[in-house]
Structure 1
Amino acid sequence: MALAAAALLDELMGRNRNVAPNEKGKKLNWEDSEYCKYYLVKFCPHDLFVNTRADLGVCTKIHDEEVKKLFAEGKSFKKILYQEEFVRFCQSMINDVDRKIIKGKQRLELKSQTETIPVSAECQRNTEEINTLTDRINSLVEKAEQAGYQGNVDQAQDLMKLCDKLKEERDSLKRIQENPNTSSSSAQVQEKQMEVCEVCGAFLIVGDAQQRIDDHLMGKQHVGFARIKAAIQEVQALIDNIRLKSERPSTETNFKFNRREPRRGDSYHRDRDHNNGIKNNRDSRDKDRNVNRRHFGNNTSSVGPHRNRDRHSHHRHSGRDRDRDRDRNRERSGDQQSPHHSHRR
């Protein structure tokens, strides 16, 4: 009551009704904990089921329309947190209703399968009741005739009225016996005609009057749960859209980073890497050469003298050949000059 009275006074006199003239009013901020998060996102579920079986009680937070407008215009990351909390709370209520619907269907199915009175036993019982009624009717007719003979007209009329009632009852039993499909009890027939509402979980009568069906569809429970289901889909779509927009810029940034143009220093780094690779190849070849020298050092020492001796013999033979050729050339040149010298003499 106090919260309702305070809300009414705020609506009539303003939220700053208790502020002095020389004081400033409090600035509105939708992030304050005193405001209802569910009301800021969409609506407060506590207001949907007042005075019903699904009543959630009075909301302890403030519902302010101006703060709701500030929330809709705001761009803080906390908005998605409020929306997710709203979806979680509403989804928990829908889960409870779904469990209620499942239990109601199981209950109707169980009652439809269990037959309290078999059809054959019921027919036998109807036959016995018909025979009993026939005997009573015959006895009453005899008593009425005797009363008429004795002059008791009133008694005779009363007995005949009673006979008429018994005849009507006997005729109804005969009709039921002739149609065994309609011989089930009225309670069973009523249960078989029941169904469960897929929105709020209430029990409905199949083929009920249209006025009662309309009253149910316009009731607080049915309208409230239908509104909650629609709000869950709408708010969840907003959350997915916000997450998609937040993930898209990071993907574009990574693509630009991977496809960036070469910078000025990239050629220097490539040349340096190339030179380092050549140097490493040279070092590896030098290492292999040193290893081969160390491995074959002893063999070269034993073969060295033979190679030197062959080299000296080769030089010696080549020198002799050159001297022999020189002498031959001199002899040829001497033979050619001798006739001239003799002629001059």
Structure 2
Amino acid sequence: MAAAAAAALLDELMGRNRNVLPNEKPKELNWEDPEFCKLYLVKFCPHDLFVNTRADLGVCARVHDDEARELFEKAPYSYRKQQYEDEFIRFCQSMLSEVERKIVKGKQRLALIGKTEAPTLSPAQTQKNEEQIALLTEKINKLVEEAEQSGIQGNVEQAQGLMRLCDQLKEERETLRKSNDNSHYNQTAELAAAQEKQMEVCDVCGAFLIVGDAQQRIDDHLMGKQHVGYARLKSALQEITAKREKARDEKEQRREEERKRARGDDDRRKRDDRDRRDRDRGDRDRDRERHRDRDHDKDREREKDKRRRRDDDKRHDSMVVGADQETSMIVTRTTTKSIVIKTEVITTIVQALTIKIANDTDPEVEVASNYS
């Protein structure tokens, strides 16, 4: 311990690389090196809080380096840093549990001092207390074994809980023993002096205080290392706990926001799918409507073609009939003209014959002459 303190002092005065030769490369600083005090890196080292007090923890065996702590604070939060914080929390809880037991015992002693006389116990009650003490001792031993097993298995929190329960049973057993032994008549000199004045126990450090004492003495107590040290332990523990709860709440809030976003994305995808299906259905309906319109147009075109063909046929038939009628008229006119010509020829011939007969001339010559 003395060598470690001397080494720490030399490191503080001459630097960490005091033993490095000129031709050697200094070791790069890393806050994870085991030489550094984990508690000091997290907040502070409790060994520095109670120097020269009744709660003095001695000199810390690790190095307290401000540069390493600065690197620790700048490093991103990780599982390794969480382990350091867990160790700091366990150490603080251990010391606070110890001072809490001290406070409870101090209040119990003051309560015993306040009684005018010791309670008178019957032999039966004394025997009953002895049996209860034996049962408590058996329970305490079992709890200690369970705590050791939990510690070996790595269940630190469970082991601490068992030890706290064990401490409560020990206090109960101690109370029964004092009741049987009338121990409230054998107080320490400090508590005996408290009989002359009304005393109280400090709820922070467990020290005995005189009620209504001078303000200067009260201020001296409040500014003392022991009171300030335990108050700082409680404050640091509450700060780390609050920070973790805040981080946990923020993480849960981020998860809730992510879940809401996921639900919103799902709803949006469902709406998009529904809209896409509606659009597809509308497109199919429009396609079917266009197909029906095209079919109707085709039917109308076919109907128009039919009507047009019928009209063409009618016009053709009319033209044919007209042509036939015209042809008939032409034929009739031609026939009539031929008949007229023939009639005229015949008339001419008859006239010529008549004249010939009358003139006794050659009829064929005259007829030919007249005809030409």
TM range (shorter): 0.5 to 0.7
Q: Which has the larger radius of gyration?
A: 2
Residue in 2 that maps onto 1:32: 33
User: Cα deviation per residue 1:202-261 (whole Å; 9 max; x = unaligned)?
Assistant: 112223344433332222211111111111111212222222333333333332222223
What is the CA–CA distance in structure 1 between the aligned matches of 2:277 and 2:55, rounded to whole Å? Answer: 74
1:99 to 2:101 alignment: yes
What is the CA–CA distance in structure 1 between the aligned matches of 2:15 and 2:212, rounded to whole Å? Answer: 52
Higher relative contact order (CA 8 A, sep 6+): 1
1:88 to 2:105 alignment: no
Cα distance change on mapping 1:34 and 1:247 into 2, 3 Å = farther
Residue in 1 that maps onto 2:269: 262
What count of residue pairs does the alignment treat as equivalent? 202
Residue in 2 that maps onto 1:2: 3
TM-superposed CA distance for 1:264, in Å, is: 12
User: Cα deviation per residue 1:119-160 (whole Å; 9 max; x = unaligned)?
Assistant: xxxxxxxxxxxxxxxxxxxxxxxxxxxxxxxxxxxxxxxxxx
SS in 1 for 2:35: coil
1:200 to 2:201 alignment: no
TM-score normalised according to structure 2 size: 0.49
Counterpart amino acid of 2:237? I
TM-superposed CA distance for 1:36, in Å, is: 1.2
Residue in 2 that maps onto 1:277: none
* Structure 2: tracts of 5 or more residues without a match: 119-191, 279-372
What is the CA–CA distance in structure 1 between the aligned matches of 2:197 and 2:112, rounded to whole Å? Answer: 10
Residue in 2 that maps onto 1:240: 245
1:111·1:191 contact (CA, 8 Å) conserved in 2? no
TM-superposed CA distance for 1:190, in Å, is: 3.0
1:65-214 equivalent positions in 2, closer than 5 A: 65-77=66-78, 78-115=80-117, 190-191=195-196, 193-214=198-219
Q: Which residue, 228, 234, 245 being the options, matches 1:229?
A: 234
TM-superposed CA distance for 1:102, in Å, is: 1.3
1:108·1:192 contact (CA, 8 Å) conserved in 2? no
Residue in 1 that maps onto 2:62: 61
2:31·2:68 contact (CA, 8 Å) conserved in 1? yes
Counterpart amino acid of 1:69? E
User: Cα deviation per residue 1:164-216 (whole Å; 9 max; x = unaligned)?
Assistant: xxxxxxxxxxxxxxxxxxxxxxx687355111111111112223344433332
TM-score normalised according to structure 1 size: 0.52
1:80·1:239 contact (CA, 8 Å) conserved in 2? no
1:108·1:191 contact (CA, 8 Å) conserved in 2? no
What is the CA–CA distance in structure 2 between the aligned matches of 1:24 and 1:240, rounded to whole Å? Answer: 43
